[in-house]
Amino acid sequence: MNVLYEDNHIIVAVKPQNVPTQADASGDADFLSMVKAYVKREYGKPGEAYIGLVHRLDRPAGGVMVFARTSKAAARLSRQIAAGEMEKNYCAVVDTGRIADAAVLEDYLVKDTKTNNSRIAGAEEKGAKHARLSYKTAESAGGLSLLDIALETGRPHQIRVQLAHAGAPLVGDWRYGGRKSEKLCLWSYHIGIAHPTKKERMDFCCPPPEGWPWNLFETAISGILKK
């Protein structure tokens, strides 16, 4: 467990890539259960530890996640998310393609529960949900671009679908037309919240993994993390 912060109200940890956020049909070890086991072990909790899941990351993505340790903290964090007050920033490596250097992407998405895919839809289509993000290109190299993304809504596969639709699928995202790579190049590098009881602003950051293609953009990633 890479724990960035913990107290009696929240725990902030880094989800590894290819680990489901919570238990699913695969039966594979999930991150929520890992966090519960960590709290139980570290604090000697009898029975199952309470951990509130207030947001998610796609299984192939990784990075910073915040969990609640009390129901009150879970409710307050959930209200922040609903009000758009939790800041969520991602790094992604994409095919440079025809994507603009910076843009706001605003679409409507529909999720197919049978295939677990999401797609762009019309605003009036049944089940369509508004999706909005902004991004800027931090650096380009070798036909790839490193994007710094601010996620304003949290729809299933949102970043992956919207960028693929804009002409820049994520490297490693075979589901939405990206080039082959061992892992999906999507990383939650920053979360900003108001502490659920102290009310003070808190920011948590973690750099993306080492290795290709992240190593093409080491200087740009360092600058993003320092901003």
pLDDT per position as a tens digit, 29-67: 999 999 999 999 998 878 888 999 999 999 999 999 999
d(CA 208, CA 90): 9
Percent of the chain with pLDDT over 90: 85
pLDDT at position 49: 87
Determine whether 20 is exposed, middle or buried from the number of CB atoms within 10 Å of its CB (0-12, 13-18, 19+): buried
CATH of the domain at 120: 3.30.2350.10
The arithmetic mean of pLDDT across residues 9-36, rounded, is: 95
Instruction: Work out how many domains the chain is built from and give that number.
Output: 1
Give CA–CA dist 159/134, Å, rounded.
Answer: 10
Res 73 pLDDT > 90: yes
Range of the domain at 145: 3-226
Q: What is the pLDDT of residues 125-168, one digit of tens each?
A: 999 999 999 999 999 998 999 999 999 999 999 999 999 999 99
What is the pLDDT, as a whole number, of residue 46?
Answer: 81
Instruction: Give mean pLDDT, residues 165-190.
Output: 93
- Please enumerate in sequence order all residues whose Cβ is within 8 A of that of 153, keeping only pairs 6 or more positions apart, or say none: 84, 129, 130, 131, 132, 133
